[in-house]
Chain A
Amino acid sequence: MAAPVPWACCAVLAATAVVYAQRHSPQEVPHVQYERLGSDVTLPCGTANWDAAVTWRVNGTDLAPDLLNGSQLVLHGLELGHSGLYACFHRDSWHLRHQVLLHVGLPPREPVLSCRSNTYPKGFYCSWHLPTPTYIPNTFNVTVLHGSKIMVCEKDPALKNRCHIRYMHLFSTIKYKVSISVSNALGHNATAITFDEFTIVKPDPPENVVARPVPSNPRRLEVTWQTPSTWPDPESFPLKFFLRYRPLILDQWQHVELSDGTTHTITDAYAGKEYIIQVAAKDNEIGTWSDWSVAAHATPWTEEPRHLTTEAQAP
């Protein structure tokens, strides 16, 4: 830049300082910016004058000059594809003036929160998720109140959207209130649910369901299973079971409810037909039925030797 001769040495010093600042300026560390999907954004080139001659690049690719308003980059109708590292350079010297790491996303919508106990009465867990993605990082904060007492919700070691509450308070109806708030750079949201501990009880399905034919009995199948290993105390809190079975060739299930024991003999099986059998569990008093167990398959005993036919057997 031109300067009067008496000021030449100061101008040189100043120019050197500017060059030094450009090479080592904090603008070389990108400025992180979050913007909302669909919105318009104007990115100034750091502290450059509006009429400075600059070039913008995104992720190393030059951007067309028609996106510029002076030295500022204007982006209309932000899409996810606009996310990236934007850099503006002094046009002639190619010195990097400013960098912006742009993240396009959305503020969070109301989170979905649910709680369940498969380990009654030892505790319950709560899980949450967002109904639609935000595309940017979110932080969740969960608080649990039992009446007026604050309880600790321990983070699940494996699942990041789950935490566990230990409770051992029986025979009362002080409700739990679980609240969750979610925040990101563009906004925040929250929700809460209130419930009695016994309403969220749902055991895991019974395990190791095995069905076997009964020798010399062409219409019987013996079914055995185990209480879910997650249920902490089946003696004090016994489970009842629901069995369903059908031959593979039919759609209609037969149902049997069993109040105790972990075996059952089916006595009305169609001879020679392969059966599918499943079991579900529920606490005797409270809560809801578990999901159906993994299915067991078995065919009742038939006399050997036998030619398999496709005719239906008389029941």
Chain B
Amino acid sequence: SPGAPISPAEPISQAYSLALYMQKNTSALLHTYLQHQGSPFSDPGFSAPELQLSSLPPAAVSFKTWHALDDGERLSHAQGAFLALTQHLQLVGDDQRDLNPGSPILLSQLGAARLRAQGLLGNMAAIMTALGLPIPPEEDTLGVVPFGASAFERKCRGYVVTREYGHWTDRAVRDLALLKAKYPG
């Protein structure tokens, strides 16, 4: 009903529960992904933390910066990230269907991750509405995708996406815990 203030506590609580649930699966997703790509990705202890995608905002942030964000900024960063993640997960799914066609487990994990990210986007939109914040319009984050990318480049970008998905989920859990404490039900 227009005019009646909506309490943000309920959508915050839902988003927080979803983010917590997502967090339980993020390292399994990264691990499964890497195992399917062959060497060097599947080598034990593989890690290339400085590898980034320019189309995907990195979750890493300094404590000072993160701490100083207001509710609107916090949510809009998360919104932007998960929007980009849903689109990138779609791309990675397509790449892997090509590179690893006989891997239903990997493909279903990627699909589930994308659906959950979409769910979290919906929850965050509800929080922003309740707080009277504008919801940023959905935009195309992938831009011009180089479809001529080599198998190695595709594997790299899938690694960055599944890794950042985990980092952004960790960050979302912290952000939502902060909001939960701020707007108790």
Contacts and interface: CB of A to CB of B under 8 A. Distances in A.
Interface stretch (B57-65, B102-110, B130-138, B153-161): B57-65
Contacts of A208: none
Interface stretch (A14-22, A103-111, A168-176, A209-217): A168-176
Contacts of B60: 169-172, 174
A304 interface: no
Interface in B75-130: none
A236 B65 CA distance: 13
Interface in A157-193: 168-175
B66 A170 contact: yes
Contact of A238 (B50, B66, B168, B177): B177
- The majority secondary structure among interface residues of chain A is loop
A147 B163 CA distance: 16
Nearest to B63: A168
A238 B59 contact: no
Nearest to B184: A260
Contacts of A251: none
A284 B174 CA distance: 9
- The majority secondary structure among interface residues of chain B is helix
A171 B172 CA distance: 10
B167 A171 contact: yes
B178 A172 contact: no
A235 interface: yes
A168 B62 contact: yes
A171 B177 contact: no
Contacts of A170: 60-63, 66, 171, 174
Interface string B168-183: 1011011001100100
B49 A172 contact: yes
B49 A285 contact: no
Contacts of A236: 67, 174, 178
Contact of A235 (B62, B66, B173, B181): B181
A173 B171 CA distance: 12
Interface string A248-292: 000000000000000000000000000000000000110000000
Given A147-B49, A173-B167, A285 B174 contact: yes
Interface of B: 47, 49-50, 58-64, 66-67, 163, 167-168, 170-171, 173-174, 177-178, 181
